[in-house]
Each structure stands twice: as C-alpha cells, then as structure tokens.
Amino acid sequence: MNAPPRELVATAKDAGARLDAFVAARTGVSRAAAAKLISAGAVLVDGHAASKSVRLEDGMRVSVTLPEPQNAVPEAEDIPIPVVYEDDHLLVVSKPAGLVVHPAPGHHSGTLVNALLARAGAAPAGGDASRPGIVHRLDAGTSGLMIVAKDEPTHASLTEALAARAVTRVYLALVEGTPDSDTITIDAPIGRSARDRKKMAVVAGGRPAITEVRVLEKLPDTTLVEARPITGRTHQIRVHLKTAGHPVAGDRVYGGNRKLASALGLDRPFLHAARLSFEHPSTGARIELEALLPPDLATALEAARARS
C-alpha cells in the first residue's frame, strides 16, 4: 500500500536541479531511493513519467508517491555489537560509527536493531515494532553509548526519564577553532532547514534545544570539548556547535573544513557518546558507564595534538 501522492512545485531556486536530487531533498529519502521511485513510475513531472536526470524548471509540478512505512519487526542479522552493560531489563551498547540505528525507508537492513535481534537471550522490546527497544538514537556517523530496553515497562520508563532530563549523556567532540569561554550554554531552537529538508538548523519557531559545552583541551587549531545535550533534538550538538562558530571537525554536513578533516584522517564527524548515567527503572540503582574513544577518533586526536 502507498501513501497519497505528495504534490511538489519547483521554484526558481530549484531550476536546473536534477529530478532525483529534487525528490530526495523535498521528501527526505536518499538520492538512491529517489532514483528507484522514479524508475518505478512513482514520480511524475507535470503528469508524465520522467528520467531521474531531467532538469527542473520553475513552476514544474512533481507528484511523488511514497510507500507506506513498514512497521513489521525487522529480520535478525549477525552483526557484532559491543555490549557494555546488560541485565534482564535493558542493555547498553557502544554503537560503532557507520551503523544506522533502525530500519528506515531506503535502509531496511544492516542496522543496530537487526543486530540486536540476532543476539542470544531476551530480544529488544518496547515502543514501535519497527525499532523495538530503542530509547534514543545516535546519528549513523556518531559512535558511543546507547540504551536499549528489553520490555515495554522499561522502555516506557526510560523514555519518560529522557523527557524529564533525568538521563545524562556526555559527548566528546573535537571542534574547529577555540571557544571564547571554557563553558558555554547554547540555547537555540532547532528545526528543519528551509534550504535543505534533510538538514537541521537553528530556526525561529523550532523546538527548544539546549546544549552545555565545556572545554577540555585547547589544541593548535582545534579544541576538545565535552558536549551535554539537555534536550534531544536531531543533530542537536552538531547544529549548535556550528551555530557557535565551532563546527565539529570532520562534519562536512554542518560546516566542517574538508582540508582539516583530511589532515586529521577524519572521514566522519569527531563526535562520540562517551558517558551515560541514569537510574535503573527496576532497581533504582544509578548506572554510570563510559566508552573510550574508538581508534579512528583517538588517532585523529593525536594528529590534532601534533599539529603546529
């Protein structure tokens, strides 16, 4: 079953853009997924089928029929995942960089959820059937600690704790430049970018977002910081640090310098969920966990320290 067609109108700013790029930007699917939709006849330009390479003109009407989201439980896949804590109610994993958290349109397999379903013992549970047990997410390019529930009551309790700001998450980030102050509180609302719907931005009328930043180590042209998101918006730390004038090193989506990233050997943002602290929903015990920098970020940090 498919959702009703989405009717899009190209503007003067879209003139000259390829059809697949336009569909991806306006709908949020990947460009590859957009190309598949076009090939399948699910995209019409002024009422007619078109190739993915068609260049748009101002005023063209594009109709896109997207498939309905799949809510079925994903299949188990044998993907190794480091587990740093586990009991009968929950587990905490150290997600590797490059691993998507849960299936989504255009990315139905090879995710953290697929990996968790293949583990021996109690499977993740609670919340949406398509993302069982997932309490909070990390960007695909971000590594580090994540909580996963094994039952519905635990999932509900942890979700409530997150909303009440009772779960402490601390990230390590290497940012470009040197902040003026050793402690910064960035309080700026975040929403979808008007220029690129796949990106987030600080926008008037966005959802409230607060990030606390503390300088750990000043280096020649970068700074190692701790970033603590008080709220949990999509891409929050990356957007806030860019807004503060200090984008995350290696973050090509949000203003990172490509030459610096190359010099440091970074092929992803230097962002790692390093510490996690929360009250266990069943026992009330305080759980405090830490994940060391993975090798790629540790190497990049040493390269940053060695720059003159």
pLDDT confidence of residue 33: 85
pLDDT confidence of residue 122: 78
**What is the maximal distance between C-alpha atoms in the chain?**
61
pLDDT confidence of residue 72: 59
Dist CA 106 CA 233 (whole Å): 22
Q: Specify the residue for token string 């995209």.
A: 43
Fold of 170-273+295-306: Pseudouridine synthase (3.30.2350)
DSSP 8-state symbol, 14: G
Per-domain residue ranges for the chain? 6-64, 69-164, 170-273+295-306
Q: Specify the residue for token string 């968790």.
A: 116
Read off the tokens for 170.
């601390």
Read off the tokens for 284.
């009330």
CA-wise closest residue to 6 among 56, 42, 48: 42
Q: How many CA atoms lie within 13 A of 35 on its CB side?
A: 6
Q: Report CA Rg, the chain.
A: 21
3.30.2350.10, 3.90.280.10, 3.20.20.300, 1.10.10.10: CATH of 69-164: 3.30.2350.10
CB atoms within 10 A of CB 262: 11
Read off the tokens for 131.
């993302």
Rounded to two decimals, what is the model's pTM?
A: 0.76
Asked whether the beta carbons of 129 and 104 are under 8 A apart, the reply is: no
Read off the tokens for 209.
């977002």
Mean pLDDT in runs of 10 for the chain (308 residues)?
A: 78 91 84 88 92 93 79 79 95 95 76 88 83 92 97 94 94 97 97 86 93 97 97 95 98 96 97 98 96 98 94
Q: Is residue 162 helix, strand or coil?
A: helix
Q: Are strands 271-279 and 143-149 parallel, antiparallel or unpaired?
A: parallel
Q: Do the domains 170-273+295-306 and 69-164 match in fold?
A: yes
Q: Is residue 267 helix, strand or coil?
A: coil
Asked whether the beta carbons of 125 and 150 are under 8 A apart, the reply is: yes
Query: Which numeric CATH code is attached to 6-64?
Result: 3.10.290.10
Q: What does the angle CA 66 – CA 67 – CA 73 come to, to the nearest 5 degrees?
A: 140
CB atoms within 10 A of CB 278: 22
CA-wise closest residue to 269 among 251, 291, 245, 242: 251
Phi/psi of residue 217, nearest 5 degrees: -155, 125
Cβ-Cβ contacts under 8 Å for 278 (sequence gap 6 or more):
147, 158, 161, 166, 167, 168, 286, 287
β-bridge mates for residue 184, sequence order: 213
Where in 105-220 does DSSP place strands (E)?
143-149, 168-176, 183-187, 190-192, 200-202, 210-218
Dist CA 51 CA 251 (whole Å): 32
Read off the tokens for 4.
């009703």
Catalytic residue among 20, 58, 78, 139: 139
Q: What does the angle CA 38 – CA 44 – CA 46 come to, to the nearest 5 degrees?
A: 150
β-bridge mates for residue 172, sequence order: 226, 272
For the question of residue 88 being annotated catalytic, the response is no
CA-wise closest residue to 45 among 14, 67, 68: 14
